[in-house]
Amino acid sequence: MAWNEPGDKNKNPWGNNKGDKSELDDLIKNLVSSFKTLFGKGGPGPLDPSSKKNIGMVGLAILAIYLLFGIYIVNDGERGVVLQFGKFNEITKPGPHWIPRIIQTVEIVDVSKIRSIQQKTVMLTEDENIVSINFAIQYDVKDASDFIFNVRDPDITLRQAGESAIREVLGKNKMDFIITEGREEVASTTKDLLQSILDFYKSGINVQTVNILEAQPPEQVQDAFSDAIKAREDEQRYINEAEAYRNEIIPLARGEAKQILEEAKAYRVKLIKSAEGEATRFRQLYTEYIKAPEVTRERLYLEAVESVLENTSKVMIDVDGGNNLMYLPLDKIIKPSNPSNYQDNKERNNNNSTNQLSDKLKLDRNTFDPRKRQVYE
């Protein structure tokens, strides 16, 4: 049966339901009784002493709770950034502190914690080569207020700034230097440049270290680059070997040159002394020649012939009849035990004899008379 059909008065939705009304009355009575208990049995009239006491206790409890909620503690290595109505007020150091909670709030920042990020990217070098580099950055907080207000996401900020800094550094260096011996220099330069960028934007971040974890050419050209490295190592090895050979041969050459110079100086002195002696002898001989020309010429002639013939293997006999006889002695026919030394001595003696003879014969070419004697070899 529908609610609007006659005969059922209880199903009228706009009708009064006595059961629901009684439950609502009970709820209101309970609330009234609670307030009466708080303010006393007399209702909203004048408060009795017990009601005043209850109100004071409630106020003290609320005040105590408010004061307790305003206490906060900053641990070692942390800083408290106090905000008043959302605006920066002060920075508190480690220890207990209190703030009015409704007016002020506090943000605790750990300034001693070392945070780190790592990033891998591909960049272009000065010689227009592509290098794949993996670097890590470690940092901490040096200004808590700037770190909270000026940086929304520290990791993202540091990644972008670090990539910009290292891209600039790599663009000023060649690939060989970056991959081989230049990693420490690249990391140090990147750290300084990154710190200057973060300070310019007042990020409150202090960069501790920048580490180059990996720097190598892309995988597509690693084989060619390995060959280039081997060729460079071979070149360096050849250079070192050449340097070692030069260091070995130069002292020897200098020693030989020094020896040759000393021998040349000694030979020069020897020639000078010999020439001076010959000149002195010639002057003495010339003095004797002035005194007795014929005797001097005869003596010079005999000395010259003697010096020539004393080292020869031939013997000449001067006969009065004019027939000169020449023969070879038997002992001269027999070869000496050391032909080479004998030949050297013979040539040296012949040269000396020839030089002496020529020097003596030059004394007086115009007046010298060979006395019609012949020497047969």
CA distance 367 to 140: 115
Render pLDDT for 116-140 as a digit per residue (tens, 0 to 9): 999 888 888 888 888 889 999 999 9
Provide the pLDDT for residue 111. Answer: 85
Structural domains in the chain (count): 4
**In contact, 91 and 145? CB cutoff 8 Å:** yes
**Adjacent-strand bridge partners of 189:** none
What distance separates the 2 farthest-apart alpha carbons in the chain? 204
pLDDT digits (tens, 9 = 90+) for 335-355: 554 444 545 555 555 555 555
Spatial neighbors of 238 by CB under 8 A, at least 6 apart, are none
Q: Are residues 121 and 79 in the same domain?
A: no
Query: Residue-wise over 30-54: b if at least 16 C-beta within 10 A, else e?
Result: eeeeeeeeebbeeeeeeeeeebeeb
Helical H segments across the chain, by residue range? 18-39, 49-69, 144-149, 154-170, 175-179, 183-200, 222-291, 293-309, 330-333, 339-361
Distance CA 160, CA 342 (A): 95
Query: Are the C-beta atoms of 38 and 54 separated by less than 8 Å?
Result: yes
Q: Are residues 141 and 213 in the same domain?
A: yes
- 376 plus 313 within the same structural domain: yes
Q: What is the pTM of this model?
A: 0.48
Q: Are residues 208 and 146 in the same domain?
A: yes
Do residue 319 and residue 350 come from a single domain?
yes
Task: Say which amino acid occupies 173.
Answer: N
Residue 284 lies in a domain: no
pLDDT > 80? residue 210: yes
Is residue 206 within 8 Å of residue 139, measured between CB atoms? yes
Would you say residue 159 lies in a domain?
Answer: yes
Would you say residue 148 lies in a domain?
Answer: yes
State the pLDDT confidence band at 376, using cuts at 50, 70 and 90.
Answer: very low
Same domain, 136 and 208: yes
Q: Is the pLDDT of residue 96 over 60?
A: yes
Distance, CA of 294 to chain centre: 91
Same domain, 190 and 128: yes
pLDDT at 357: 47
Range of the domain at 366: 292-377
CB-based contact 222:216 (threshold 8 Å): yes
Confidence of residue 294 (pLDDT cuts 50, 70, 90): confident
Give the residue among 267, 151, 261 at the shortest CA–CA distance from 202: 151
280 domain residue, yes or no: no
